[in-house]
């Protein structure tokens, strides 16, 4: 009987559990013996590997996070550390590994594939920044968490004639900021694509207040672009709005996955098992125009950024 393993790596994402559950259940149904690796590549190097049965994945579909645990292990780039991981897989006679994670985790999987382990990647990250796939597992839940938070902040914004500068997580990618800005009807969105011009932001806020007579203003900004506290202070001093900065941070990453993420996770895991049955390696599972397809990991990582030009134009027309 062929033995396969599954791990989750990098930042956890809601829906990872749905993918683990489907790998175990579909895997067993297709005749594999399935093992879970605990704590990502760190656990793989330390040999934290355990056989998983049908009931080990009961009641996890609705849970956020990952029951297998996750980690970041920068040393996994080193040959000798990867070799240790492979030794551990061989000890269990495991020839295949499903890696659920983001682009960094994919690079680890690619390295193991080149050393003879059949690796398949499943995109699990709230950032939605793997260009080969239209969506990643966790993105929709994080988006929904942001919308919940912004809806609440808007109440105070209107009551207090206040501008909130809201920093959303998402690494250097713009998906979460742009989609939440459209969903929440924010006054401004700032991402790596829009760029950041502080004087322009101030003039926009003055316009919202003086021309449109708004009592509220919401600015949504991607993380790692500028200092939200500094901007909020300037808005406070130079416009008619009082202002506060809010960093949503890890609140976005937690909670029960929304249906879109549960379904995507289950579909993608089913495809991963299909690929392992065909003894494929160095491939990842992608959502493309509503279909689940396979691509080489290198190809998926190298694809150019998904163009969101139309969405940026739509946002501009809506404000």
Cα separation, 114 vs 239, in Å, equals 57
Nearest to ligand F6P of 174, 204 (CB atom): 174
Question: Rounded CA gap, 274 and 288, in Å?
Answer: 17
CA dihedral sign, ordered 121, 127, 133, 134: positive
Rounded Cα distance between 240 and 63, Å, is 44
What is the closest distance, in whole angstroms, from the C-beta atom of residue 227 to ligand F6P in the complex? 16
Closest CB 67 distance from ligand ADP, rounded Å: 17
Residues that are catalytic:
127
Q: How far is the CB of 127 from ligand F6P (least distance, A)?
A: 5
Please give the order of strands across the beta sheet that includes 188-190: 188-190, 217-222, 162-168, 242-247
Task: State the Cα–Cα distance between residues 79 and 128, nearest whole angstrom.
Answer: 29
Give the H/E segment covering residue 165. strand 162-168
- Beta sheet of 3-8, edge-to-edge order: 49-51, 33-37, 3-8, 94-101, 118-123, 283-288, 291-296
Closest-approach residue to ligand ADP (CB): 104
Q: Does 276 bind ligand F6P (CB under 6 A)?
A: no
Interface segment toward ligand F6P; rule CB under 6 A; list 48-56, 167-175, 187-195, 254-262: 167-175
Examine residue 171 and tell whether it contacts ligand F6P (CB under 6 A): yes
Does the footprint of ligand ADP cover residue 41 (CB under 6 A)? yes
Q: How many residues bind ligand F6P (CB under 6 A)?
A: 11
To ligand ADP, the closest distance from the beta carbon of 277 in angstroms equals 25
> Residue 101 binds which entry of ligand F6P, ligand ADP, none, with Cβ cut-offs from 5 to 8 Å by kind?
ligand ADP
**Which of ligand ADP, ligand F6P, none does residue 74 bind (CB under 5 to 8 Å by kind)?**
ligand ADP
DSSP string, 189-238: EE-TTT---HHHHHHHHHHHHHTS--S-EEEEEETTSS-HHHHHHHHHHH
User: Out of ligand ADP, ligand F6P, none, which partner does residue 169 contact, by CB within 5 to 8 A per kind?
Assistant: ligand F6P
Of the candidates 113, 112, 109, the one whose C-alpha atom is nearest the C-alpha of residue 122 is: 109
257 binds, among ligand ADP, ligand F6P, none (CB under 5 to 8 A by kind): none
Binding mask 94-133 for ligand F6P (x = CB under 6 A): --------x----------------------xxx------
> Contact positions toward ligand F6P, by CB under 6 A?
10-11, 102, 125-127, 169-171, 223, 253
> Contact positions toward ligand ADP, by CB under 6 A?
9-11, 41, 72-74, 76-77, 101-105, 107-108, 111, 125
């Amino acid at each position: 009987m062929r033995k396969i393993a599954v791990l989750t790596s990098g930042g956890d994402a809601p829906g990872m559990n749905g993918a683990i559950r489907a790998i175990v259940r579909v895997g067993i149904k297709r005749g594999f013996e399935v093992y879970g690796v605990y704590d990502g590549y760190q656990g793989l190097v330390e040999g934290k590997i355990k056989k998983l049965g049908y009931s080990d994945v009961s009641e996890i579909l609705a849970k956020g996070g990952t029951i297998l645990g996750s980690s970041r292990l920068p040393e996994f780039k080193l040959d000798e550390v990867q070799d240790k991981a492979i030794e551990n897989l061989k000890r269990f006679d495991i020839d295949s590994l499903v890696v659920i994670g983001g682009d960094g985790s994919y690079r680890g999987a690619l390295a193991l594939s080149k050393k003879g382990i059949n690796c398949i990647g499943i995109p699990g990250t709230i950032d939605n920044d793997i260009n080969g796939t239209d969506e990643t597992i966790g993105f929709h839940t994080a988006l929904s968490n942001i919308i919940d938070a912004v809806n609440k902040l808007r109440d105070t914004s209107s009551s207090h004639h206040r501008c909130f500068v809201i920093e959303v997580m998402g690494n250097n990618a713009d998906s979460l900021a742009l989609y939440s800005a459209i969903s929440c009807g924010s006054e401004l969105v700032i991402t790596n694509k829009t760029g950041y011009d502080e004087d322009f932001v101030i003039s926009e806020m003055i316009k919202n207040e003086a021309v449109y007579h708004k009592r509220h203003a919401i600015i949504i900004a991607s993380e790692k672009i500028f200092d939200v506290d500094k901007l909020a202070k300037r808005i406070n001093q130079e416009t008619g709005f009082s202002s506060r900065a809010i960093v949503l941070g890890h609140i976005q990453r937690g909670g029960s996955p929304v249906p879109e993420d549960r379904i995507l996770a289950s579909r993608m895991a089913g495809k991963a098992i299909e690929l392992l049955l065909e003894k494929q390696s160095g491939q990842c599972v992608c959502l493309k125009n509503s279909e689940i397809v396979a691509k080489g990991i290198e190809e998926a990582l190298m694809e150019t950024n998904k163009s969101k030009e139309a969405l940026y134009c739509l946002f501009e027309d809506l404000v």
